[in-house]
Amino acid sequence: MQRIQMTQTYSQAFEDYLKVIHKLVRRAGRATTSEIARCLDVRPASVTGMLQKMAELEPPLVSYEKHQGAVLTEAGEVEALRVIRRHRLLELFLHEYLNYSWDEVHEEAERLEHVISDKLGARIAALLGDPDRDPHGHPIPSADLVLRPLTEFPLSQLPVGGWGIVRRVRDDEPAVLRYVGRLGLRPFAPIRLVSHVALDGTYHVLVLETGETVVLGTAVAEAIFVDHLSVPLMITNQSNAEDED
């Protein structure tokens, strides 16, 4: 009568490694030991040990050769997307139903993502109407684990004078989110990079909705991702990437 657990389940640690490797592979083609260590705040020696284990599982979650870093296998990709989907659905759920602000959702989702069942994930998705963006604008993999390709790039790479539309903001620094939110730089906000002052590394950005021009440092300008907008309020596409969460 009991249905067999078809879905293999992995430890919290493996799931966090998978998410980080997924992000780094997207960004750079492969995930190096030291980058993984930095992202997870563990020592590189610990990463080596974990990569060896993940590569020797049946099926292997990563393809790994000494000194060459790791990439995800098909199985690893699937698991990574499952965790990412749970994470982003949870973020949106906490935001929409439980009064969480966008700077509070990430930390809570970071723990919940490892313990919710497929059933709960599906119920949350249904309640939210099968959404495709989390509160920071990150794309949510579909139920069949397809992740929309990213076209947006850091605000800091917008040409001076160019218009853009905010697509997403890195979600792992609550203080950045609160600051950026206060400035009106939320997903779908049209902006214009008025100028870039190279000598102090600041970006002067017009926020169309408020009419204000705000001044951003490098850290913040690299945490905000935008698409080109040829004319204000007209949305276009383009390609490039780099991300968080």
Partner DNA sequence: CCTATAATTTAGTCATACCTAAATTTAGAT
Partner DNA sequence: ATCTAAATTTAGGTATGACTAAATTATAGG
- Residues contributing to the site for Mn ion (CB under 5 A): 16, 91, 110, 134, 136, 138, 171, 245
Of 45, 160, 197, 219, the one binding DNA by CB under 7 A: 45
Of 22, 25, 61, 69, the one binding DNA by CB under 7 A: 69
Binds 138: which of a copy of itself, DNA, Mn ion, none (CB < 5-8 Å by kind) = Mn ion
From residue 209, how far is each of 7, 144, 190, 234 by CA, in Å? 46, 36, 7, 14
CB 33 to Mn ion: min, Å: 20
CB 123 to a copy of itself: min, Å: 4
**Nearer Cβ to DNA (67/182):** 67
Within residues 125-164, the interface with a copy of itself by CB under 8 A covers 127
CB 70 to DNA: min, Å: 8
Q: Is 236 helix (H, G, I), strand (E, B) or coil?
A: coil
Q: What are phi and psi of 172, to 5 degrees?
A: -95, 0
Q: Is 60 helix (H, G, I), strand (E, B) or coil?
A: coil
Q: Does 173 bind a copy of itself (CB under 8 A)?
A: no
Q: Does 81 bind a copy of itself (CB under 8 A)?
A: no
Within residues 15-34, the interface with DNA by CB under 7 A covers 16, 32-34
CB 175 to a copy of itself: min, Å: 8
Which DSSP letter does residue 148 get?
P
Q: Does 176 bind a copy of itself (CB under 8 A)?
A: no
Q: Does 42 bind DNA (CB under 7 A)?
A: yes
Q: Does 119 bind a copy of itself (CB under 8 A)?
A: yes
Task: Select the span of 63-71, 95-103, 164-172, 199-207 touching a copy of itself (CB under 8 A).
Answer: 95-103
Which amino acid type is present at position 1? M
Q: Is residue 17 within 8 Å of 53, Cβ to Cβ?
A: no
3-state secondary structure 3-23: CCCCCCCCCHHHHHHHHHHHH
CB 112 to a copy of itself: min, Å: 6
Bridge partners of 193?
A: 205
Phi-psi region of 3 (alpha: psi -120 to 50; beta: other; left: phi over 0): beta
CB 26 to DNA: min, Å: 17
Beta strands in the chain (DSSP E): 62-64, 70-72, 153-154, 163-169, 190-197, 202-207, 213-216, 224-228
Q: Which strands, in side-by-side order, build the sheet including 224-228?
A: 153-154, 224-228, 163-169, 190-197, 202-207, 213-216
Which amino acid type is present at position 221? A
Q: Is residue 201 within 8 Å of 218, Cβ to Cβ?
A: yes
Binding-site ranges for a copy of itself (CB under 8 A): 94, 97-100, 104, 107-108, 111-112, 114-117, 119-120, 123-124, 127
Binding-site ranges for DNA (CB under 7 A): 11-14, 16, 32-35, 40-53, 64, 66-69
